[in-house]
Each structure stands twice: as C-alpha cells, then as structure tokens.
Amino acid sequence: MQRKTKATIVIIVIMGIFGGIFGYFKFTEQVEKPVLEEAIGKTIVVESDGEIIESKTKEEILYPDNLIESKVSEAIHSMSHQKVQSGAQWGHEQITQEKVERLLAVCKMNDYEHNDIYIPILERWSKGDFSNAVEDHNAIWIMQQNGNEDAPGRASRLSTPEEEGYYIKEYFSGNKPDNQNETFGGAQR
C-alpha cells in the first residue's frame, strides 16, 4: 500500500513539473506574441500615468540602435533579393524607404567593421537608386561567405520590373502566384 502511495506521489510530482513547464511556455508565447504582432506596422507608445515614456516605429523595433552587425548585413542582403536575380536566395525582406533610412541611421551611429560597404549602399537606396543592386548584393554576399566567391547565390543581373513584381507578390503580398515554381533567369522563385 505504501509503495503505491509513493509511486502515485512521484507520478503526480512529475506531471506537475511537466504541466508547469508546458504552462510556462504557453503563457509566455501568448504574452509575447500579441506585443510583437501589435508592434509590427504602427508606432508603439508606452504610457505610465498618462505620460509618454517611449514611442518607437516598426523600423526602430526591427532595427534597434544597438543592432549587431550581422543583422545589418542580413537585412541588406535579404532586401537586395527584391532587385536581383541569383542562383539561390536565402532571406526575403521587402525594401521600404523607412527600413532603408533606419538601417542607414543605425549604421551611422555604430562603428561597424563593414560600414564602408553598408553606408554607400544604403545612401544610394535611400535615393531610390538600385542601379548597382547586383554589385551591392554580391559585396554583402561575398562578405557573408567569408570571401568564398564559388558559393551558390551570386547575383547575375537586375530583375526586370515584371520579375520584381512577381517577387513582391510571391513573398510579401500574402497571395502566392499561380506558378510558384516558375524560374526567372535561373533563379528558382
């Protein structure tokens, strides 16, 4: 009888521990998720006693002042995919004026090792000049590949307006194109 009681207590304790862990993850997921979803797409204002403590744009949340350099590189690289054709593409981030300007501001306030690459790219892009997007993409891509120019993913040319429209529709509109496997200039889309 005593043995069954001890076994029952052990099982209840183990179930309690697993239940607590499960509950913790579910609770934190529910608490964190709405904040992030609300943050994306509008200005966040935090108030205490009717006083504005902090106001941040979506871009300031995505790209904070202390953004690590690898995230800057990743963002520029992912945005460049909207403008170029390459054999393989990892990462898709839609180019917006707000994102470009925010990343430029972040680069100027930080002493990144590769600011000599980032700042000229972002300055051109902030003026709507994407004529060097192939070179921009490849400069970041080579840097991310530690100089290995044989790795897959080198951009070969600028996208046509039609290809860019297709890319935007595929990755950012929420409406997938009719033919998701269509290939443009060797790039699987």
Render pLDDT for 105-114 as a digit per residue (tens, 0 to 9). Answer: 999 999 999 9
CA angle, corner 138, sides to 122 and 179, nearest 5? 95
Give the separation between CA 184 and CA 49, rounded to whole angstroms: 55
Question: Which residue, 71, 73, 39, 41, is CA-closest to 172?
Answer: 41
Let me know whether 129 and 183 are in one domain. Answer: yes
Instruction: Convert the pLDDT of each residue in 15-35 to its tens digit.
Output: 889 788 877 777 665 544 344
3-state secondary structure at position 10:
helix
CA angle, corner 114, sides to 108 and 116, nearest 5? 65
pTM of the full structure:
0.66
CA distances from 87 to 15, 116, 162, 167 (A): 50, 26, 18, 14
Let me know whether 100 and 178 are in one domain. Answer: yes
The region, left, alpha or beta by phi > 0 then psi within -120 to 50, assigned to residue 156 is alpha
Let me know whether 51 and 112 are in one domain. Answer: no
Domain ranges, residue 32: 2-58
Let me know whether 29 and 99 are in one domain. Answer: no
| pLDDT, position 102 | 96
